[in-house]
Amino acid sequence: MTIVITFHQSWYQNLKTYYIHFVCRYLNSEFPKLISYTRMLKCMQCVLVPLCSLLLPHSPLGKANRDFLC
């Protein structure tokens, strides 16, 4: 989920370029077990619902998760 959030905060326009040119080059020390881009796309499907629950202000999990993550 961290990679998805940082992608949306970056100036990159597509995830593939961001993942290959930035994450794989510069963030491999933060993510030592980095997966391939194809596997990342499959994992993205599981991230959508938790990400939306963090971003929605009236979500039952929103405030608790934001407090926990900060």
Q: Is the pLDDT of residue 70 over 50?
A: no
In the chain, alpha helices (H): 2-9, 15-18, 24-26, 37-55, 62-69
CA gap 31, 12 in Å, rounded:
19
Crossing angle, helix 37-55 and helix 2-9, to 10 degrees? 80
Q: What is the pTM of this model?
A: 0.64
CA gap 53, 63 in Å, rounded:
9
Question: Mind listing the pLDDT tens digit for each residue in 14-51?
Answer: 889 998 889 988 888 888 888 888 888 888 888 777 77
pLDDT band at residue 59 using 50, 70 and 90 as cut-offs? low
